[in-house]
Amino acid sequence: MRGGPSADELARIQRQLAGMGHRELVGEISRTDPTRGAKILRLLPPERSSHVFDALGPAHQAAVVRALGGENVVNYFGALGAEDRVALLDHLPAEIAERLVRELDEDDQRVTSVVLGYKKGTVGRRMSPKVPVVYPEMTAGEVLEELRRGIDSFETIYTVPVVDADRVVCGVLRLRDMLAAGEDARVSAVMEAASVFHSGDELEDSARWLLASGRLAVPVVDDDNRLIGIFTYDEAHDVVEGENTQDSARMGASEALRQPYLTTPVIRLVRSRIVWLLVLALSAILTVQVLDVFESTLEKAVVLSLFIPLLTGTGGNTGNQAATTVTRALALGDVRAGDILRVMWREVRVGFTLGAVLGALGFALATAFYGLGIGAVIGATLLLICTISATVGGLMPIVAKKVGADPAVFSNPFISTFCDATGLIIYFLMAKSVLGI
């Protein structure tokens, strides 16, 4: 290790790492670049190092795998659950991915390829195929035996799917209910009706539903309702957190980072933002054109230009408020695409009320400093801008969802640009008619 730390120093660092808790260690690796993260992993005892690796997100894992350059990677990879393995594979170049899969043992290869067979963005892709199988006629004691036998490979044993002879799911057994019922109770007497996911179900909605329901896991079935795996709350949590990060990024007009901020190279931060920024800047040329049309009006009353940022800013803010609220409500399932008219009618009223308050205030202040004419223009413009912006801001996310786009993308950035241009047109038309210029 040319130029690296001495043996003494390594021993000191290892002692220091041994003194850190799991949480602290994961935090440290999430806040440093992947090369240094890989060095830390190398210095940990094998089992601990696998455990820490497991706790990183898949894109971050992939960056660490590349920094490790092959060393130990198979051990980390083999220790992951099938669903986590697939998530990592999705972030690796094909040749590394293929090599890793080849080096797994046969059983692990099989379950990994089952999960790999499902489309990204479906429940099948994030389920665990290793699931205990119990039948309605078994007793609680027999179930316990069955669970004990496979306990190291099952993702969860607390929620157990019950299947008939054709492997069709006919119920779920909560371990808790089974323990309460006693050794001799039959599964059929204790099991509950099963909520199941189909392998092709949309991932985010399913994950949100599972978490909101308080369930620990939900069985996954194929088109014939036959059991193929189980989707657990911790996978669901990872999915939902990823989607929340994406929504938040897109509402701020950038793409989500796939690994922790401080581990992401600066050039990738630039890439996550530049496209949006260019799109928005180019669409903002619309505002230059609108103002160009009204240049003669501006020349006659330069005072009008003083209020441009105030008016466009207020319109943008009102639109963003509505869009943010509706986008989040859509994500949580509180609003659906079919509610579009109800949302519109609510936002018209909200926007009008907000516009009335701001318009009155704007009228009073502008009249005091710039005279009644300007005051009237500013007041009326604010009333109209707020009503239109809130309505459009509330509708855009639903329209986006209807046409199959991400509601968060259509929220803030586009709404700001739209509100800017509309606001300016309203402003100058109002000024021309009120001031007679």
172 near a copy of itself (CB under 8 A) = no
118 scored as a contact of a copy of itself (CB under 8 A): no
Q: Which of residues 21-80 bind a copy of itself (CB under 8 A)?
A: 21-23, 27, 30-31, 55
Residue 111 CB, shortest distance to a copy of itself, in Å, is 19
According to the binding rule CB under 8 A, does residue 171 interact with a copy of itself? Answer: no
- Smaller CB distance to a copy of itself: residue 226 or 300? 300
Among 346, 367, 376, 425, binds a copy of itself (CB under 8 A): 346
Q: Which of these segments, 2-10, 40-48, 175-183, 217-225, binds a copy of itself (CB under 8 A)?
A: 175-183
Q: Classify strands 217-221 and 197-198 as parallel, antiparallel or unpaired.
A: parallel
What is the footprint of a copy of itself within residues 220-259 (CB under 8 A)? 233-234, 237, 241, 244-245, 247-249, 251-254, 257
Minimum CB distance to a copy of itself smaller for 26 or for 43: 26
User: With binding defined as CB under 8 A, does residue 402 bind a copy of itself?
Assistant: no
Minimum CB separation of residue 98 from a copy of itself in Å reads 28
Q: What is the DSSP-derived secondary structure letter of residue 229?
A: E
Whole-angstrom distance, CA of residue 356 vs CA of residue 382:
8
Supply the DSSP string of 262-298, one letter for each residue.
GGS-HHHHHHHHHHHHHHHHHHHHHHHHHHHHTHHHH
Pairwise CA distance, residues 410 & 26, whole Å: 35
The b-or-e profile of 254-273 (16+ CB within 10 A means b, else e) is: bbbbbbbeebbeeeeeeebe
Asked if 433 is part of the footprint of a copy of itself (rule: CB under 8 A), the reply reads no
Between CA 97 and CA 101, with CA 100 as vertex, the angle to 5 degrees is 85
* CA neighbours closer than 13 Å in the CB half-sphere of residue 167: 12
Please state the closest distance from residue 10 (CB atom) to a copy of itself, in A.
Answer: 25
Give which of 117, 87, 88, 124 is closest to 202, Cα–Cα: 124
Cα gap 82→7, rounded to integer Å: 37
Nearer to a copy of itself, 228 or 424 (CB): 424
Touching a copy of itself, residues 282-301 (CB under 8 A): 284-285, 287-288, 291-292, 295, 298-299
Is 168 near a copy of itself (CB under 8 A)? Answer: no
Give 290: exposed, middle or buried? Use CB within 10 Å, 0-12, 13-18, 19+. middle
Q: What angle do CA 396, 400, 288 make, to 5 degrees?
A: 55
As measured in angstroms, the least distance from the Cβ of 153 to a copy of itself is 11
Single out the residue of 76, 307, 363, 418 in contact with a copy of itself (rule: CB under 8 A): 307
Task: Establish if 147 lies at the interface with a copy of itself (CB under 8 A).
Answer: yes
Residues 194-213 that bind a copy of itself (CB under 8 A): 195, 209, 211-213
